[in-house]
Structure 1
Amino acid sequence: MTTHIPSLTFPRIVFEQPAIAVLLPVVAGAAIGYSTRPKQTQNTYRALRQPPFHPPAWLFGPAWTSLYALMGYVSHRAYTLGTSSASPSTVALAKQGATLYTIQLGLNLAWMPLFFGINKPRAAAADIVALGATVGYMIWVWGQVDEVAGWMLAPYAGWLGFATYLCFGVGYLNDWDLETAKAKGKKSE
């Protein structure tokens, strides 16, 4: 069980200011997306064998931007409602959720560089499993603080489940070797 760990948690201001809470994950996600060279990432995505029901490459940017904004708002809502409570246990849960939120955002932002940046689909798969578990736990913790906040994270959890399917599907279908799959894709162009 995780508790509030100040050294692994964003400062209070990140959660207390709604603009910061929303913009931090959106800007960080965009920065990671652009740092992995979007055109190259899309070319890699197209070159890989994909499992059934894979979405078009253009869908990921809008989907993740929406989810980042939503999770940022939820972090603000759950934290401010929880820490303003008269109940010490609710305050503790809000702070515990803040630690989980910080950890999950780090895991989330690590996935793309692992998968597309350094072509390590096994490491990306381990990352997304840890991310899913952390998000599930965070939903449970913040759901105790504010039921609405817990439910608002359902789209994120659903998309993560789908992303986990895609990650494992692409890894398996490409023998967990993205370099070879990309090279084959370039030859067929």
Structure 2
Amino acid sequence: MTTFIPAITIPYGVFASPAASMLLPISLGGIIGYSTRPKKNQSQEPVSIKQPPLRPPPWVFGPAWTLLYGLMGYAAHRAITAGLSPLTSTPALIRSTKHSATLYSIQLALNLAWMPLFFGAKRPIEASVDILALLGTNLYITNLWWSIDRTASYLMVPYLGWLSFATYLCVGAGYLNGWDFRGKELRSKQE
């Protein structure tokens, strides 16, 4: 079990505010998403990355991630504030809550690293390892939060579902392209 590591854990003040807890992942995800989006003014026609079946249209990803970032941020707010409440917490629950806060911070970093790995660096193997670690970490967090705040745990279910689907898309794209994206770009079907 990972322990509470203050140096890499989001400060409690962020978790204490529902708005800050939700806006942190939304804003960071938006910045990373905007900075890694495919460029439309490329000088030559790129070869498209082959995609697995069931890939939704590109316009779905922005709204889906915004909603999921908001849900996970609110879940973190609920779990961390409930678990650290001096009125209801036990020493064991406080340790588990602090542990989950560190894990939540790690999962957010893993989440934010995925887009630059997949789109920027075009490293499908590393992106697949990242998203598998992200999915596993979130399964563990959801399990930890079950004993702290069940609503927070339930709020993570859509995120886990989307991460499972995103893992399929990531690994599928890597496999279909021979785990090599060099010289290829992800393009929508409308282009």
Superposed pair shares fold, TM > 0.5: yes
8 Å contact kept, 1:174–1:181? no
CA distance in 1, matches of 2:132, 2:56: 20
Give 5+ residue unaligned stretches, structure 2.
none
Q: Per residue, is there more helix in 1 or in 2?
A: 1
1:18 equivalenced with 2:18 (yes/no): yes
In structure 2, the partner of 1:27 is 27
Match among 126, 130, 133 for residue 127 of structure 1: 130
Deviations 1:25-45 (A, max 9, x none): 0000000011113545xxx9x
Structure 2 SS opposite 1:172: helix
1:67 equivalenced with 2:68 (yes/no): yes
In structure 1, the partner of 2:113 is 110
Alignment of 1:57-96 (within 5 A): 57-84=58-85, 85-96=88-99
CA distance in 2, matches of 1:174, 1:38: 18
In structure 2, the partner of 1:3 is 3
8 Å contact kept, 1:15–1:21? yes
Give 5+ residue unaligned stretches, structure 1.
none
1:158 equivalenced with 2:172 (yes/no): no
8 Å contact kept, 1:97–1:141? yes
Percent identity of paired positions between Structure 1 and Structure 2: 54
Match among 140, 143, 148 for residue 143 of structure 2: 140
Measure how far apart 1:146 and its partner are.
0.9
CA distance in 2, matches of 1:121, 1:115: 6
**Could you state the TM-score of these two structures normalised by the residue count of structure 1?**
0.90
CA distance in 2, matches of 1:141, 1:52: 34
8 Å contact kept, 1:54–1:166? yes
Measure how far apart 1:180 and its partner are.
3.9
Structure 2 SS opposite 1:119: coil
CA distance in 2, matches of 1:106, 1:19: 19
Tell me the number of residue pairs that the alignment of Structure 1 and Structure 2 aligns.
182
8 Å contact kept, 2:24–2:73? yes
CA distance in 2, matches of 1:117, 1:86: 43
CA distance in 2, matches of 1:70, 1:38: 26
Structure 1 SS opposite 2:182: helix
1:175 equivalenced with 2:178 (yes/no): yes
1:55 equivalenced with 2:56 (yes/no): yes
CA distance in 2, matches of 1:152, 1:129: 20
8 Å contact kept, 2:50–2:173? yes
Asked which structure has the greater RCO (Cα within 8 Å, sep 6+), the reply is 2
CA distance in 1, matches of 2:153, 2:71: 12
8 Å contact kept, 1:22–1:73? yes
Structure 1 SS opposite 2:51: coil
Return the letter of the residue paired with 2:75: V
